[in-house]
Amino acid sequence: MEFSLFLALLVFVMISAVISVTLRDVLSAIIALAGFSFGAAVVYVLLRAPDVALTEAAVGAGATTVLFLVTIVKTVRPAGERVFERIRWGPAALALAFLGTISLTIPSIPRVGAPDSAVVAGDVTRYYLEMATPETGVENVVTAVLAAYRGFDTLGEAVVVIAAGMAVLLVLRREVYV
């Protein structure tokens, strides 16, 4: 039951990705992107990553959509009679060549959910799972790694967010935009 739901979701995510990229109307594309993002968040839930799913749903499907909507309010929304863009064969050939090249690596990737794959069975993962709660006192290992073991990484993330905020303010510094 859960597996067929999972496959249906993966198909939904792929189709909504294609739709959001090929829709001609920008507002429709943004709405399709929000749906795509939310589908991806549900896929993360089924892959047992609740923290990532929450962030993706709030930030990916929520905040990003708001940013896009503000942008099209400030700019234009090109109108057209066609619902979808015409397919451009040059870029399509490029994308297919890219897909062909990276899918050559599939046979060397461990199968989905393999308990002996390098990520799951690796020393780092095992150390975090055993020691994170005793060493930091945090029950959620993801939070413990985020805030304690990789705290500098999270500090760097905060620096990136502040730098991005400053860049946005600098680029749009005239009163017209504020």
Shortest separation between residue 25's beta carbon and other proteins, angstroms: 10
User: By CB under 8 A, is residue 33 in contact with other proteins?
Assistant: yes
Q: Which of residues 127-156 bind other proteins (CB under 8 A)?
A: 128-130, 132-133, 139-142, 145-146, 150, 153-154
Q: How many residues contact other proteins, by CB under 8 A?
A: 91
Shortest separation between residue 142's beta carbon and other proteins, angstroms: 5
User: By CB under 8 A, is residue 157 in contact with other proteins?
Assistant: yes
Taking alpha carbons only, the member of 7, 52, 56 closest to residue 36 is 56
Answer for which of 5, 8, 83, 164 binds other proteins (CB under 8 A) is: 164
DSSP 3-state of 84: strand
User: By CB under 8 A, is residue 5 in contact with other proteins?
Assistant: no
Token pair listed for 5: 């739901």
Answer for which of 107, 135, 137, 152 binds other proteins (CB under 8 A) is: 107
User: By CB under 8 A, is residue 109 in contact with other proteins?
Assistant: yes
Q: Going by C-beta distance under 8 Å and a sequence separation of 6 or more, which residues neighbour residue 12?
A: 39
How would you classify residue 78: left for phi > 0, otherwise alpha for psi between -120 and 50, otherwise beta?
Answer: beta
Shortest separation between residue 5's beta carbon and other proteins, angstroms: 13
Judged on CB neighbours under 10 Å (0-12, 13-18, 19+), 102 is exposed
Answer for which of 88, 137, 152, 178 binds other proteins (CB under 8 A) is: 88
Are the beta carbons of 108 and 117 closer than 8 angstroms?
Answer: no
Judged on CB neighbours under 10 Å (0-12, 13-18, 19+), 48 is exposed
Q: Which of residues 57-76 bind other proteins (CB under 8 A)?
A: 59-60, 63-64, 67-68, 70-72, 74-76
